[in-house]
A and B are shown apart, each in its own frame.
Chain A
Amino acid sequence: MKMKLWRMGAAALAAASIVNLAWADHTVKIGGQCDRTGATRLIGVEICPGVADYVRLVNRKGGVLGHKLEYTEVEHGYAVDRGVEAYERLKRDGVVAMLDYGTPIVYALTPRHMADKIPAITPGFGRADSIDGRVWPYIFPMAASYWSQAGGAMQYIKDKGGKKGTKIAYLYFDNPAGREGIPIVEVVAEKEGYQLRHFAVPSPGLEMSPQVIDITRRFKADWVVAHLFGRAPSVSIKELKKSGFPLDRVISFVWGSGEADAKAAGWADSQGYLGLQFAAVGRNLPVIQEIMKMHRDEGKAVPEYVGSVYYNRGVLIAAILTEGVRLAIQNHGLPVTGDKVRLGYEAIRNFDLQGFLPPMTVTPADHEGGGWVKVYQVKGNEWVPITDWIRGYREEVLGLVDKANKKQH
């Protein structure tokens, strides 16, 4: 009898403590994948701390509407099977919103996100047509897709005096992501009467002199729109510089416009080179200043990468994620679920984090947040903004999205 009582007491105690924990603990679990060792590690080692630092900042300031965020990072080394494992692990742990990392992994996980109703942020990785949330309700690119980037680049060319007969060379990495920009570039070229030619660079893109000679000597391009990855952007800068092509007429998409690219080509040789960004760059921004202050308050030195292109993109991801969770709690209450976060994302209106982001407005039809980009230029040893947030040919971009999704389904 005594034994039984003791057992019952223990059980009651255990149950009470579980209930207690559940009530006291309103933490919102979010998760992200990361690549610190794989194919794109140079990007990962800056993006991932960007995400983690911003989440820490939010928690230090009291969390989201008083609820702490619990962020789990899973490092997968760009391996697809480990990406699947990372997804399943985060799902098991009850994560309500995820960051997916790496194009092949985003592709692999898209059907799972749709089936499990856990929204994924896929900035700069996913396919352009996934910006239509009516078809892809749980996929949120949340940053200018390649089509919007192409639209922005073409708009910049037009603003700088592009006219009928202007010759544009589209220099791209010969893989699905690299080719993705083609349709919109083609549509715009036809509309504006530009002369357009494609120049494919096969993987890994470390040898580009034939393409560059073709562009500068035979085609005699006025503008180069470059969509390259990895080491290839720096090679393109070097080769174009060597052949005397003016670098202020070379516009790179977002994965060729990091510090690493200019550094690998040599800052001195990259002067004037243009790059698109979907988050502001540098330290002279309120949110980055806050993060730097947090580092100092914690008694740690501010890491060198804070304020870099990729670090700031990490901050962008975390900021949007946090905003989504905030709106989910505000509009739909606790407990937070994946579906509520989706609705939270879709309720984001003119969210710009004091100029750090473009005025993001997300709707069910537009999971891209408007498709804004900003043109930056290499001046001295840094990237300097030379335009405001711009977007171009929105109608054409959305038309293509529609067409692609109709074809798919």
Chain B
Amino acid sequence: MIGRESGVYKTSYEADLALYPLPTGQYAAVAALACLALLPLALDSHAMALLNLMALASIGAIGLNILVGYTGQVSLGHGAFMMVGSYTAAILTTRYGVPFWLGIPAGGVMAAAVGAFFGIPSLRIKGLYLAIATLAAQFIVEWIINHWTWIGGGAQSTIYVPTPAFFGWEIDTEYKRWFMILPVAILAYVAALNLVRTRIGRAFVAVRDRDIAAEIIGVNIFRYKLTAFAISSFYAGVAGALWTYYLKIANYEHFTLVTSIQYLAMIIIGGLGSVLGSVFGAVFITLLPIVLVYLVEGTARLAGYEYASVADFLANLRLIIFGALIILSLAIEPEGLYRLWGNVKRYFRLWPFSY
């Protein structure tokens, strides 16, 4: 019933190559888009802040998935590339008056350059060894921002950014910020969906599956590995720049090693090698700890406990539940939430006549 191919005849190559070849897919995409655009009508500013944070995380996660999930290069330096984007945007805006909509791509480009540089070791080393090499990026970039005062903006390594404005339209509420972040997120999502279906995307997958075989069939490994690093870091830079305009501040402590690990967690939980999975993972990792605050505290209140007397216990209980849910979701479906979603879709493919 849902997503049934039967009866859909394609008469042109374009139709066959469409991003959503089935009418149901197209309707769903349009409906999702309309939903996202209309959400501000229904939600309060607190919920909008959550949406913004999730959208920001999604952009970064999609980027990391291109590198780790599609190209098979493990990176622990994602936070560093976000830092680069963040400070690039802040410096351009505060010192050169560049508007935010130029600062975002500029942050991406700068991060792409830095990312490609730190991707060079990937030509020699793989897997865990590469992870450690990219860890260096995390520390080197942090050190440079911290000690090079021109970049860091002084002893505090913090740059305040004025309220971003789009031709005089000041983006100063959570609602307006949603319309700053959402278009970028959608662009990032669609671009990634298309990228992985192109020649470049197929080369990435070939490199991931077996780089020697890929080299033999004529894939230029040097080029594609660095391209993967550059594209992934571009996403990270865009996310970092958006984060700066979102908070109106650039501060390197927002992109520590923990951030890099968190993004890895997002794509592993969401599904390696899946664009939609990255979004699922970003939502999971961003939203779950916050939802747990309400769930656990609400339950405790219902059970008659006073918050102040059990606050420490609840805080740690939430962490335990969070960890258990991660393990549980991976135990149920090691290939991530995307696969789980796929299973649901497959179940309904011939429903109610499935066999």
B134 contacts the other chain (CB 8 A): no
Contact with B along A15-46 (1 / 0, CB 8 A): 00000000000000000001011000000010
Q: Which B residues are in CB contact (< 8 Å) with A49?
A: 308, 311
Q: CA–CA, A49 to B308, complex, Å?
A: 7
Given the interface pairs A73-B311, A85-B49, the reply to whether A175 lies near B254 with Cβ below 8 Å is no
Query: Binding site of B, secondary structure by majority: helix, strand, loop or mixed?
Result: helix
**Cβ contact within 8 Å between A111 and B248:** yes
A394 contacts the other chain (CB 8 A): no
A354 contacts the other chain (CB 8 A): no
Q: CA–CA, A326 to B248, complex, Å?
A: 32
A14 contacts the other chain (CB 8 A): no
Q: Which A residues are in CB contact (< 8 Å) with B308?
A: 49, 52-53, 56, 73
Q: CA–CA, A180 to B157, complex, Å?
A: 10
Ordered by A's residue number, 13 sampled pairs between the chains whose C-beta atoms are within 8 Å are: A34-B311, A37-B319, A48-B311, A52-B308, A56-B308, A81-B286, A84-B247, A85-B53, A91-B46, A104-B254, A115-B163, A127-B158, A174-B146
Task: Give chain B's interface residue range (CB within 8 Å of chain A).
Answer: 35 or more
Q: CB within 8 Å of A: which residues of B?
A: 44-46, 48-50, 53, 57, 146, 154-158, 160, 163, 172, 174, 247-249, 251, 253-254, 286, 289-290, 293, 307-308, 311-312, 314-316, 318-319
**Cβ contact within 8 Å between B311 and A180:** no
**Cβ contact within 8 Å between A176 and B157:** yes
Q: Closest 10 A-B residue pairs measured CB to CB?
A: A104-B253, A111-B248, A88-B49, A36-B315, A92-B46, A176-B156, A88-B46, A107-B251, A52-B308, A176-B157
Given the interface pairs A37-B316, A111-B248, the reply to whether A103 lies near B290 with Cβ below 8 Å is no
A284 contacts the other chain (CB 8 A): no
Q: CA–CA, A39 to B163, complex, Å?
A: 30
Contact of B155 among A56, A74, A91, A182 (CB under 8 A): A182
Contact with B along A323-339 (1 / 0, CB 8 A): 00000000000000000
Q: Which A residues are in CB contact (< 8 Å) with B316?
A: 36-37
**Cβ contact within 8 Å between A75 and B46:** no
Q: Which of B155, B172, B248, B307 has the most CB of A within 10 A?
A: B155
Closest chain A residue, CB of each to CB of B315: A36
The total of Cβ contacts below 8 Å across the A-B interface reads 97
Contact with B along A66-78 (1 / 0, CB 8 A): 0000000111010
Known: A73-B308, A77-B289. 10 other contacts (CB 8 A): A37-B315, A52-B308, A75-B293, A75-B311, A77-B319, A81-B53, A82-B289, A84-B247, A85-B53, A110-B249
Q: CA–CA, A179 to B155, complex, Å?
A: 6
Q: Which B residues are in CB contact (< 8 Å) with A81?
A: 53, 57, 286
Q: Which A residues are in CB contact (< 8 Å) with B53?
A: 81, 84-85
Interface size on A, residues (CB 8 A): 41
Given the interface pairs A48-B311, A75-B293, A85-B50, the reply to whether A80 lies near B155 with Cβ below 8 Å is no
**Cβ contact within 8 Å between B160 and A88:** no
Q: CA–CA, A127 to B153, complex, Å?
A: 14
Given the interface pairs A73-B307, A75-B293, the reply to whether A107 lies near B155 with Cβ below 8 Å is no
B293: shortest Cβ distance to chain A, in Å? 7
Closest chain A residue, CB of each to CB of B319: A37
Q: CA–CA, A92 to B45, complex, Å?
A: 7
Given the interface pairs A73-B307, A73-B311, A92-B44, the reply to whether A180 lies near B247 with Cβ below 8 Å is no
